[in-house]
Amino acid sequence: MEMLKMTDISKSFFGVTVLDHVDFSVERGEIHALLGENGAGKSTLMNILAGVYTRDSGQVVFNGKPLEHSSVAATEQAGIAFVHQELNLFNDLKVYENIFLRKEITGALGILNKRAMIEQSHALFQRLGVDIDPCAMVSELETGKKQLLEIAKALHANAELFILDEPTTALNNEEIAHLFAIVRRLKEAGKSFIFISHKMTEIFALADRYTVLRNGKFIHSGAVADTTPMEVTRMMVGERYSEEEAYIQRELGEPILEMEGLCGHGFHNIDLTIRRGEVVGFTGLVGAGISELFQTIFGELPITGGTLRIAGVPITSHNIHKAMLNKVSMIAANRKENSIIPDFTLLENNYVSEHTLSFRHQHISKKKEIAKYEQLRQKLNIKSNSPDDMITALSGGNQQKVILARWLNTQADILLMDNPTQGIDVGAKAEIYRLIQELAQAGKTILVNTLEIPEIQKVADRCVIFYHGDLKAQLERRDISEEAVMLQATNAINTAEVSK
Partner 1 sequence: MEKNTLTARKSGSITKAIGNYSFILIFLAIFVAYLIINQGATTWSGVMNILRHSAVVGILAFGMGMVIITGGIDLSVGSMLALVGGLTVVVFNNTNNPVITFLFALFAGAMCGLINGVFVGVAKMPAFIVTLSTMLIYRSIAQYYLRTMGLSIYNMEGTLSTYDAIYGFGQAKVFTVPVVGIVLILVTAIMVYVSTMTKFGKRVYAVGSNEKAAHLAGINVTVTRVMVFVVTGVLAGVSAFLLLAMNGSMDPATVGKSYEMYAIAAVVIGGISMSGGKGKLLGVLFGAMSYTIIDKIIASLGLDALINDTIKGSILLVAVLIQMVVPVIRGKLKKTGN
Residue 376 binds partner 1, judged by CB under 8 A: no
Taking CB under 8 A as the rule, which mask of x and - marks residues 100-119 in contact with partner 1? Answer: --------------------
Task: Tell the smallest beta-carbon distance from residue 424 to partner 1 (Å).
Answer: 18
- Distances in Å between the alpha carbon of 335 and those of 285, 385, 402? 19, 21, 11
Contacts of 203 (CB under 8 A, 6+ apart): 33, 35, 195, 197, 210, 224, 232
Strands (E), 67-168: 80-83, 161-165
Please count the other Cβ atoms lying within 10 Å of the Cβ belonging to residue 49: 25
Task: Tell the smallest beta-carbon distance from residue 7 to partner 1 (Å).
Answer: 30
- Among residues 75 and 398, whose Cβ is nearest to partner 1? 398
Task: Tell the smallest beta-carbon distance from residue 253 to partner 1 (Å).
Answer: 25
Q: Cα separation of 406 and 143, whole Å?
A: 35
Taking CB under 8 A as the rule, which mask of x and - marks residues 333-362 in contact with partner 1? Answer: ----xxxxxxxx---x--xxx-xxxxx-xx
- Among residues 339 and 491, whose Cβ is nearest to partner 1? 339
Residue 324 binds partner 1, judged by CB under 8 A: yes
Residue 213 · residue 45 · CB < 8 Å? yes
Task: Tell the smallest beta-carbon distance from residue 328 to partner 1 (Å).
Answer: 10
Total binding residues toward partner 1, as defined by CB under 8 A: 29
- Where does this chain touch partner 1 (CB under 8 A) — which range of 61-69, 277-285, 332-340, 491-499? 332-340
Task: Tell the smallest beta-carbon distance from residue 339 to partner 1 (Å).
Answer: 5
Q: Which of 170, 171, 169, 151 shows the shortest CA–CA distance to 161?
A: 151
Q: Cα separation of 140 and 95, whole Å?
A: 10
Q: Cα separation of 138 and 150, whole Å?
A: 11
In this structure, the strands spanning 470-476 and 209-214 are unpaired
Of 332, 416, 426, 432, the residue at the interface with partner 1 (CB under 8 A) is 332
Residue type, 241: Y
Residue 18 binds partner 1, judged by CB under 8 A: no
Task: Tell the smallest beta-carbon distance from residue 407 to partner 1 (Å).
Answer: 9
- Among residues 350 and 488, whose Cβ is nearest to partner 1? 350
Residue 475 · residue 460 · CB < 8 Å? no
Residue 320 binds partner 1, judged by CB under 8 A: yes
Residue 224 · residue 208 · CB < 8 Å? yes
Residue 492 · residue 290 · CB < 8 Å? no
Binding to partner 1 (CB under 8 A) within 272-301 occurs at 300
- Among residues 361 and 500, whose Cβ is nearest to partner 1? 361
Residue 229: alpha-carbon gap to chain centroid: 21
Taking CB under 8 A as the rule, which mask of x and - marks residues 399-438 in contact with partner 1? Answer: -------x---x----------------------------
Contacts of 468 (CB under 8 A, 6+ apart): 172, 287, 288, 289, 491
Of 164, 186, 330, 394, the residue at the interface with partner 1 (CB under 8 A) is 330
Q: What angle do CA 355, 357, 359 make, to 5 degrees?
A: 60
- Among residues 273 and 358, whose Cβ is nearest to partner 1? 358
- Among residues 250 and 355, whose Cβ is nearest to partner 1? 355
Handedness of CA 171, 174, 176, 182 (dihedral sign): negative
DSSP H or E run through 262: strand 255-264
Residue 56 binds partner 1, judged by CB under 8 A: no
Residue ranges in contact with partner 1 by CB under 8 A: 300, 320-321, 324, 330, 332, 337-344, 348, 351-353, 355-359, 361-364, 406, 410
